[in-house]
Amino acid sequence: MLDIKDISKAYEIIKPIIKHTPLEKSKTFSKLTKENVYLKLENLQTTGSFKIRGAYNKIYNLTEKEKKCGVVCASAGNHAQGVAYASTLLNVKSTVFMPIYTPPVKIIATKSYGAKVILEGKTYDDAYLAAKEYAKKNSMMLIHAFNDEYVIAGQGTIGIEVFEDLKNIDAIVVPIGGGGLISGIALALKTLKPKVKVFGVEAEGAQSMKQSLEKKKLIPLKSTDTIADGIAVKTPGDLTFSLAKKFVDEVVTVNDEEISNALYLMLQRTKLIVEPAGATSLAAILSKKVSLPGKNIVALLSGGNINLSLLTQIIERGMMKNNLLVKISIIANDKPKILRDILTILSNLGGNVQSISHDRGTTSVPVGYVKIIITLQTLGSKQINIIKQAFDQKNLKYQIMH
C-alpha cells in the first residue's frame, strides 16, 4: 500500500516540470453556499489538467530498458496529453489510444505533444483493451490512467500543495473517474490532517466508484452517459478502490444539468474555462450535494480541456436560463414588410438581434403564413416581458422557446 513517503518522493520528481497551481477563495461561490469555497485550479496546469503529475512520475521511474521500448496508454484525453508531454520531456516514444468520440481539441493537443494517436472503441474501456493488446504485441510499457502506484502518487501531490496553501482546510471535493486522483489526494490529506473530509463526485451517468463502494466490491457499469467524458469510466481500479474504501468519506453524484450550470457560472463569475469532468466538484457544492456551512471547503477543478462546441452550447443554455438570451417563434402573414415591422418593435425596445430564420415549408405553418424564429440578447426577464406586451398589442402570434 502507498504511503505519504511515496507521494513526497513523487513531488520532488515532478516539481521542476509542473506548476504549483493557485488555490483561490471565491467570494461569489462562498456567498452563494455560505461556505468558504476555495478553487484549486488544476485547469491551469501544464497540458490543461492534473494528469501530467502521475504520467511524469510513472515514466520517470521506468527502467532505461522500458523507456527505450516506448510507452502506450489509453485515455479520453487528459491522460493522453500528460503521457505525450511527459514522454517527450523524457525522450520516450509514446502511442496513445483514444475513443473515437474524443473531442477533436484533445486529439490535436495530444499529437502536438509528440504522441502517435490511434482512435479505437466508443469508450475509455474499449480504448484501454486495444492499448493493452498493442503494448503486449510491440513489447511496450502500458501506462495505466489510474490503477498504478506511481500514477496515484503523482496525483496525490495535489494534496500536499493544497495543505501547504490552506492548513485549516476542512474538506475537499474531488472528481472521480477511475479513482487515481481522489485516492492519491485522500491518502496525502488524511495523513497530513486526519480530520479533513474527502468527498468524491461522479457524474450521475457514470457512477462506478459509488456503486462499487456501496456493494463493497468492484461493480462494472454496462455503459456510461454523461457530458463529463473525462470521468466516464466503467470500472474503478482495484488499487484505487482499496484506497477509496480506506480514505474517502463519501461519494456523491451530479447530473449533466448541474455540471452545465456550474460551468456557466464559472465562466460568468470567475472567468475560468473548465471541462465538464473538472466542474463536477463545484457542481456538487452548488447543488448542496456537499454542504458544510461556515467550513473551508476546496473544489478541485481537475481540467480545462473542453470541447469548444459543447462550451458554446453551455453558454447559450446558461444565457437562456438566466433570461439573457431568448428565442421567439412568430407565425405571421407572409407579406412584405412584416419582418421590418417586427424588427422595428425589437429595435425600439433595445433588443439585440443575434439571428433570424424563416420556415414556410412545414405543415405546422398555415398556407400564406411564415414562421419567423428570432434569437436576441436581452437585459433580463423585465425586458422580455416588455417585448411580449408590445407583441400582444400588435396581435402577433408568438411563442417564447425554451
- DSSP state at residue 122: S
CA pair distance 132, 377, nearest whole angstrom: 50
Question: Catalytic amino acids?
Answer: 51, 302
**For residues 225 and 253, is the Cβ–Cβ distance under 8 A?**
no
Could you identify the residue written with the cell 462494472? Answer: 220
**Residues facing residue 297 across a β-bridge:** 37, 171
**For residues 280 and 228, is the Cβ–Cβ distance under 8 A?**
yes
Which CA distances in Å does 179 have to 4, 169, 234, 242, 244? Answer: 17, 21, 11, 10, 8
- CA 175, 266, 230, 321 torsion: positive or negative? positive
How many Cβ atoms sit within 10 Å of the Cβ of residue 283? 31
CA pair distance 88, 60, nearest whole angstrom: 11
CA pair distance 157, 239, nearest whole angstrom: 17
DSSP three-state, residue 397: strand
The residues, any chain, with a CB within 8 Å of residue 255's CB and separated by 6 or more, are 203, 204, 205
CA pair distance 168, 296, nearest whole angstrom: 7
Cα 235 from chain centre = 19
For residue 7, give the nearest of 165, 105, 142, 152 by alpha carbon: 152
**Residues facing residue 25 across a β-bridge:** 38
DSSP three-state, residue 168: coil
**For residues 201 and 289, is the Cβ–Cβ distance under 8 A?**
yes
DSSP three-state, residue 54: helix
Across the chain, how many H-helices and E-strands are there? 16, 14
